[in-house]
Amino acid sequence: MRHGKYPFIAGFLAAPAILYLVFVIGPYAQAFQIALTNWRGVTAHADYVGLENFSRIFQDDLFWKAMRNHGEMLLAVPLLTIVLALFFAFLLNVAGKRRAGSSSGLPGSGFYRVVFFFPQVLSIAVVGVLFQVVYRPDESGVLNGILGWFGAEPVGFLTEPGVALWAIMGVMIWSGVGFYLVLFSAGMASIPKELYEAAELEGAGRVRVFFSITLPLLRNTVQVAWVYLGIGVLDGFALVQVLSVNNGGPDGATTVVGMQVWQNAFAYYKFGYASAMGVVLFFVVMSVTALTLRLTRREQLEY
């Protein structure tokens, strides 16, 4: 058996490697190449224009609006999602009454765990359509219907420039919390019970336990969550496409780079320009990821 081992293993590795090359690396490389052309997507012609597409991007108002929106979302969405998920995970796993030395969640935590996970089961398009109804700008909308009972004027959640991006971020957070709650719960389950016992013997309250034991030992999980959420926020296309007014409006208030790529490629047939935006986005995502990992790097805690 030893004789044919390497060809055997190589055979297994080759298939996924080739698939990856053809369907992932190939299109990536092609996007970099198309970004240097003025290809319109439908003709045989594509002339090389050098870096012209990239210099255009720097003068594109909507692109910069999209980048600013990404910036705001990068500040708000990961932070709020992680804080909420940590809070709920702590309540569901650790914050309950302690009996015979073992900690557990609040009463009914099994039920809530399932409920919090619901949004994760829905596809993002379904979530979008759901929130169309929630945010609808007249009395037939869920939120405005409730506001109407109190005699308030309907609010244009997705039409007011100052509110629209927050409304969309709210959906991102709502649909994200459940997943990270489960992720953090798994992390909390792996924290040894003795640590909690010891803390309890020392007389630590729940808040102290959270900040001195749970959070430091979850550090790696939180870091992963931050990177995932950061990448998710730099996409955001599907929700913006379904929810926003006039594709990323009002006036670019909710637009994202993905939306701009889509608009330029499939509405304006500027595939070269759209590819250049994609390339820029690629580097932004890489930088944000590298930066997050770098800033949060610390000695591993052994326990």
Partner 1 sequence: MSSIPDLGRRDLLKGAIAAGATLAAGAALSGCAMGGGSDDSGPKTAKGKRSADNPFGVVPNSSLELVWFKGGSPLYLADAVNPLFKRKFPKATLKQSSSERLSQTLQPRFVGGNPPDYVDNAGADALDFGALIQDGQVLDLTELYEAPSIDDPDKKVKDTLLPGAYENAITDGKPYALSYFTRAFGLWYNAQLFEKEGWEAPTTWDDFLALCKELKKAGITPYGFAGKNAADYHTTVLLASAAKIGGHEVITDIDNLEDGAWKSDAVIQAADAWAEIGAKYTSKSFKGLIHTEVQLRQNQGKLAFYPSGDWLESEQKEATTKDFTYAMMPVPSVTTADALPAHAIYATVGGGWTFIPAKAKNAPAALEYMRMIMSREGAQAFTKASGWLTTVQGGADGVELPPGMAAAQKAIDTAAKDNSLFETKIQTWYRPLSEETKGAVLQLMFEGGTGRQFAERMQKKADEIKKDSSVKKYKR
Does the footprint of partner 1 cover residue 38 (CB under 8 A)?
A: yes
Q: Which of 93, 30, 17 is nearest to 282 (CA)?
A: 30
> Per CB under 8 A, does 246 bind partner 1?
yes
What is the DSSP annotation of 16-28?
A: HHHHHIIIIIHHH
Minimum CB distance to partner 1 smaller for 26 or for 108: 26
List Cα–Cα distances, 117 to 225, 243, 269, 274, in angstroms: 16, 22, 40, 36
Residue 32 near partner 1 by CB under 8 A: yes
- How far apart (Å, rounded) are the C-alpha atoms in residues 261 and 41? 13
Nearer to partner 1, 35 or 94 (CB): 35
Instruction: In angstroms, give the least distance from the CB of 256 to partner 1.
Output: 16
Q: Is 154 in the site for partner 1 (CB under 8 A)?
A: yes
For residue 29, state whether it binds partner 1 (rule: CB under 8 A).
yes
Closest to partner 1 by CB, 131 or 184: 131
Neighbours of 269 (CB within 10 A): 14
| Cβ neighbours of residue 37 closer than 8 Å, sequence gap 6 or more | 46, 47, 48, 49, 272
* Sites for partner 1 among residues 42-61 (CB under 8 A): 42-50, 52
Binding residues for partner 1 restricted to 86-145, rule: CB under 8 A: 135-138
Residue 41 binds to partner 1 (criterion: CB under 8 A): yes
Task: Choose among 85, 36, 35, 107: nearest CA to 281.
Answer: 35
Residue 269 binds partner 1, judged by CB under 8 A: yes
What phi, psi does 23 have (nearest 5°)? -100, -15
CA angle 154–156–157, rounded 5-degree value? 115
3-state secondary structure of 58: coil
Q: Which one, 87 or 282, has the nearer CB to partner 1?
A: 282
**Selected range binding partner 1 among 64-72, 82-90, 245-253, 285-293, rule: CB under 8 A:** 245-253
| 7 vs 27, beta carbon nearer partner 1 | 27
Site residues, partner 1 (CB under 8 A): 26, 29-30, 32-34, 36-50, 52, 135-138, 154, 156-159, 245-246, 249-252, 263, 267-270
